[in-house]
Amino acid sequence: MAIMAVAFFLVFLSCFICIEAYFLPHIGKITQLPGQPPVDFQQFSGYVNVDKKKEKSLFYYFVEAEIDPASKPLVLWLNGGPGCSSIGVGAFSENGPFTPNAKVLLRNEYSWNREANMLYLDTPVGVGFSYSTGASSYETLGNPLLEFTTDYNSRAEYFWSHGLISDTTYNLFTYGCNYSRYVSEYYRDSVSIVCSKVMSLVNRESSRFVDKYDVTLDVCIPSVLSQSKIIAPQQNSERIDVCVEDETINYLNRLDVQKALHARLVGVRRWDVCSNILDYDMLDLEKPTIPIIGSLVKEGIPVLIYSGDQDSVIPLTGTRTLIHRLAKQLGLNTTVPYRVWFEGQQVGGWTQVYGNILSFATIRGASHEAPFSQPQRSFVLFKSFLDGRPLPQEF
């Protein structure tokens, strides 16, 4: 079954203090990546040892801001998955400076390092180029959903409202066996007959040729036919590489690329987007993570939760419900009523703000990996958040 890749970014205002204190002793400057176009900013990559015996090492890729990096914030980007690479997904597919295309790298016009210093970290060990030399050092980790039941059960209505399933199947998917029940049974190896029948109907009607991470855009046909994971949503556009995941896998498995990145493969033969060697306790999916968001808000830390509105894996409807419920629990009043926001002269999405500290936003036409499918709109959202400004309400 499909597992979702959730991404987080954390913003630190005193970026170079953080970098110099922790990463400089480990920094390896990248002279130039193979096939890279010329740029004016610096790049660094390498390993940070995370235990005293040096058995565990996390791989990072650090990209300086294009202009005046010393004055720009540091953004730490972490992909979920579980077990998916922040370098492979975040940096090379979503919001980094380059995207692989055949044997070269193309410049990303809407790279987030236009506004911030970007630090991509492969975590935990066993993900991407991060590794452990200990025999039993790989972790277990829960998937960072906000809340299991609400998030998963919102999938049925999303499928139905977007025409992916019939009225009959929608009723069965809601009342006969909802998605949270199916997932709970699946990871306990006890799928009931009724859930098995319902999911067979859902899968047949929704089709494997529709990317559940983006229900309206095209898929990479070779990936579908080979049954490889489709993490990146696709779009029939000259700006979007429909097979970017395959391109990234090929690029990061090149020896000259690994040498340029100061990376090495330990315990695996090939680099892959998502790790298959980690022993996850998938029942941790049922543990809510939304209390963590509440704790951050209580500490006075601004939080933005955004959803691509074409994502059926973690639909915006469930997320919106949970954020509204959290705001009510925290006693936060609505400071920006639900409204559209603009990117240029087009609607970029919708937003609502609570207490000027907790924000929810959608990105119109975007997928689970919003910066990939809607790079310009995602960049507007990112810049507004960094600047502490409301999303544009007019054009």
Look at strands 117-121 and 56-63 and give their pairing. antiparallel
- Position 382: which residue type? F
Per the CB < 8 A criterion, the answer to whether 147 and 106 are in contact is: no
Q: Is residue 95 part of a domain?
A: yes
Give pLDDT tens digits for 336-384: 999 999 999 999 999 999 999 999 999 999 989 899 889 999 999 999 9
Which residues have a Cβ under 8 Å from the Cβ of 225 and sit 6 or more positions away? Answer: none
Q: Are residues 34 and 106 in the same domain?
A: yes
- Lowest-pLDDT choice from 31-45, 123-137, 277-291: 123-137
- Together in a domain, 171 and 34: no
Q: How many CA atoms lie within 13 A of 229 on its CB side?
A: 20
User: What amino acid is encoded at 126 in this protein?
Assistant: G
Residue 142 has pLDDT above 60, yes or no: no
For position 135, what pLDDT does the model report? 52
Q: How confident is the model at residue 137 (pLDDT cuts 50, 70, 90)?
A: very low
Residues 91 and 238 in one domain: yes
Whether 114 and 256 map to the same domain: the answer is yes
Instruction: Give yes or no for residue 81 having a pLDDT over 90.
Output: no
Q: What is the CATH number of the domain that holds 356?
A: 3.40.50.11320
Q: What is the pLDDT of residue 296?
A: 92
Looking at the structure, do residues 56 and 196 belong to the same domain, yes or no?
Answer: no
Judgement on whether residues 355 and 381 belong to the same structural domain of the protein: yes
Is the domain of 199 the same as that of 171?
yes
Residue 112 has pLDDT above 90, yes or no: yes
Q: Flag whether pLDDT at 96 surpasses 70.
A: yes
Residue 242 has pLDDT above 70, yes or no: no
CA distance 328 to 284: 26
Residue 81 falls within a domain, yes or no? yes
| Tally of CB atoms within 10 A around 51 | 12
The confidence band for 284, taking pLDDT boundaries of 50, 70 and 90, is confident
User: CA angle at residue 162 from 157 to 167, to 5 degrees?
Assistant: 60
Q: Does residue 156 fall inside a structural domain?
A: no
Paired sense of beta strands 303-308 and 358-363, if any: parallel
Is the Cβ–Cβ distance between 386 and 115 less than 8 Å?
yes
User: Nearest 5°: CA angle at 4, between 46 and 346?
Assistant: 95
Q: Which two tokens stand for residue 326?
A: 């959290």
8 Å CB contact between 378 and 384: no
CA 355, 356, 362, 364 dihedral sign is positive
- Closest Cα to residue 223, out of 247, 253, 254, 200? 247
Please check whether residues 72 and 191 belong to one and the same domain. Answer: no
Is there a single domain that holds both residue 135 and residue 242? yes
CATH value at residue 14: 3.40.50.1820
180 domain residue, yes or no: yes
Assess if residue 128 is contained within a domain. Answer: yes
Strand partners, 349: 341
pLDDT tops 90 at residue 66: yes
**The last residue of a domain, from among 262, 279, 296:** 279
Q: What are the CA-CA distances from residue 183 to residues 108, 136, 175, 284, 294 (Å)?
A: 37, 27, 15, 12, 26
Report the number of distinct structural domains present in the chain. 3
Q: How far is CA 368 from CA 62, 192, 213, 246, in A?
A: 24, 29, 5, 18
Using one digit for the tens of pLDDT, what is the confidence trace for 41-53? 999 999 988 876 7
pLDDT of res. 124: 85
Residue type, 85: S
Number of C-beta neighbours around residue 382 at 10 A: 23
CA distance 160 to 349: 21
pLDDT tens track for 173-215: 999 999 999 999 999 999 999 999 999 999 999 998 888 988 9
Q: CA 354 to CA 360: how far, in whole Å? A: 9
Residue 250 and residue 309 in one domain: no
In a domain, 211, yes or no: no
Q: Which DSSP category does 26 fall into?
A: G
* CA angle, 108 then 224 then 165, to 5°: 105
Q: What is the mean pLDDT of residues 308-336?
A: 95
For residue 12, give its domain range. 7-142+231-279
Is it true that the peptide bond before 392 is cis, omega within 30 degrees of 0?
Answer: no
Considering the domain boundaries, does residue 365 fall inside one?
A: yes
pLDDT at 241: 63
Letter string b/e over residues 255-272, b meaning 16 or more CB atoms within 10 A of that residue's CB: eebbebbbbeeeeeeebb
Structure tokens of 89? 């997904």
Kindly report the average pLDDT of the chain as a whole number: 86
Q: Based on the fold, state whether residues 67 and 201 are members of the same structural domain.
A: no
Are 268 and 303 part of one and the same domain?
A: no
Region 218-238 average pLDDT: 55
Tell me, yes or no, whether 224 lies in a domain: no
- Residues of the chain with pLDDT > 70: what percent? 86
DSSP string computed for 35-83:
TPPP-SS-EEEEEEE-STTS-EEEEEEEE--SS-GGGSPEEEEEE-TTT
